[in-house]
């Protein structure tokens, strides 16, 4: 894979029990600055603990900048907690806060879904974990299952760059004080270990297809095994073909998907794909012990990816996402073991014979849900037969000359 750099130290974090203590420890060790991006910053026990750590950092003279998605903030960030952060000196901004002023515009759905943080340009956190307690799972059985990584090394240069760029765009759009200092951080390219890693982001300008292309390339090169764990899994045709082609080459493919219903439309639509996958010899495991929020994959015991991007139209079509790709047998082995334990302890296989016996009502609901999503994609300019990628009005007119959103 191009642009994969050596020199990283990467540690796997399993859920909030690992993530939040590691994040707070890094905040408490900060000397100069903390940059945090998240889709959700909840006013709950974990959110309060993170907020208190950020405030402690400000009180020591650390510059703290927090960027929360406008929709996620509307749902979870209370005015009280927001006020406490800003009053203490935290530079808090919302990404696209206009969630209600433009209710029928497609662009309002382009959210900040990535979860990124860096401290002093030396330590970073990347993954799928929001600032929300693992036990805060309304309608679901806690704890929430998710992953992140703590990383040191050359990848910090990319993380600092993309976080500053997005923050500056938001500040410009909201006529806010520009936070981008002229001086850079000299430590962001330091070698910290021997692990190969790469940051992959998805945006609406230069990297619209980047994360899916990483998956497609890895699937095309797979030789032995693919394990994908994904909370919201509704791939386009190219992704489906890549999975089936790998299975036909003799690659053992396991999809760990969530059994519990959160979004009914997506839940039933996904199931229209099961028969095709099962007929191709792809193993489907539905995790039913609790709420699966993971977005990770392991291929051939060497390639691993962890991040915020699901394999669905929202992540591949509208949201800003960030994944880290790691080439390292030890790290990939740790993630693989964690996924196999989830399968053994909390999943149930979908068997082809049983799937054929599902009721007519279930079949009709799935077909209706799938058709509805296809209509939505057509209305928004996406072509599901070519991988769920959108074509905006500007893009149709200029064929590639896009406006940053």
Contact status, residue 212 vs residue 239, Cβ threshold 8 Å: yes
Contact status, residue 188 vs residue 164, Cβ threshold 8 Å: no
* Dihedral pair phi/psi, residue 355, rounded to 5°: -65, -35
Residues carrying an active site annotation? 113, 115, 120, 293, 295, 300
* Dihedral pair phi/psi, residue 289, rounded to 5°: -70, -40
How many other C-beta atoms can be found within 10 angstroms of the C-beta atom of residue 400?
7
| Alpha carbon separation from 252 to 12, 290, 301 (Å, rounded) | 24, 25, 12
Q: What is the DSSP string of 193-210?
A: SSEEEEEEEE-SSS-SSH
Element housing 228 (H / E): strand 225-230
Beta bridge partners of 9: 152
Contact status, residue 162 vs residue 322, Cβ threshold 8 Å: yes
The Cβ-side half-sphere exposure at 365, using a 13 Å CA radius, reads 12
């Amino acid at each position: 894979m191009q642009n994969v750099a050596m020199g990283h130290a990467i540690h796997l974090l399993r859920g909030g029990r690992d993530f939040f203590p590691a994040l707070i420890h890094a905040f408490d060790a900060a000397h100069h600055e903390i940059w945090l991006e998240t889709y959700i910053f909840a006013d709950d026990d974990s959110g309060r603990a993170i907020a208190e750590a950020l405030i402690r950092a400000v009180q020591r003279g650390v510059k703290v900048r927090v960027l929360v998605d406008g929709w996620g903030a509307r749902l979870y960030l209370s005015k009280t907690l927001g006020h406490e952060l800003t009053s203490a000196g935290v530079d808090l901004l919302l990404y696209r806060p206009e969630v209600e002023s433009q209710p029928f515009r497609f662009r309002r759905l382009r959210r900040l879904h990535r979860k990124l943080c860096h401290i002093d340009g030396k330590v970073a956190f990347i993954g799928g974990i929001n600032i929300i307690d693992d036990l805060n799972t309304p309608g679901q059985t806690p704890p929430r299952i998710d992953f992140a990584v703590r990383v040191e090394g050359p990848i910090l240069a990319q993380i600092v760059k993309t976080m500053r760029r997005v923050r500056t765009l938001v500040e410009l759009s909201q006529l806010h004080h520009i936070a981008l200092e002229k001086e850079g951080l000299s430590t962001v390219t330091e070698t910290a270990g021997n692990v190969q890693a790469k940051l992959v982001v998805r945006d609406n300008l230069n990297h619209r297809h980047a994360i899916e292309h990483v998956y497609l390339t890895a699937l095309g090169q797979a030789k032995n095994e693919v394990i994908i764990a994904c909370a919201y899994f509704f791939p386009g045709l190219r992704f489906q073909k890549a999975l089936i082609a790998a299975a036909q080459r003799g690659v053992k493919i396991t999809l760990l998907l969530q059994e519990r219903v959160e979004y009914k439309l997506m839940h039933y639509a996904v199931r229209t794909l099961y028969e095709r996958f099962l007929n191709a010899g792809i193993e489907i495991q539905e995790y039913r012990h609790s709420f699966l929020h993971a977005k990770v994959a392991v291929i051939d015991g060497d390639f691993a990816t962890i991040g915020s991007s699901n394999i669905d139209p929202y992540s591949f079509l509208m949201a800003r996402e960030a994944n880290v790709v790691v080439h390292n047998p030890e790290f990939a082995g740790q993630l693989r073991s964690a996924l196999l334990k989830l399968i053994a302890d909390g999943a149930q296989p979908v068997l082809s014979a049983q799937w054929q016996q599902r009721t007519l009502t279930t079949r009709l609901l799935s077909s209706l849900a799938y058709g509805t999503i296809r209509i939505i994609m057509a209305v928004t300019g996406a072509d599901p037969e070519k991988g769920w990628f959108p074509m905006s009005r500007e893009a149709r007119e200029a064929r590639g000359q896009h406006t940053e959103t």
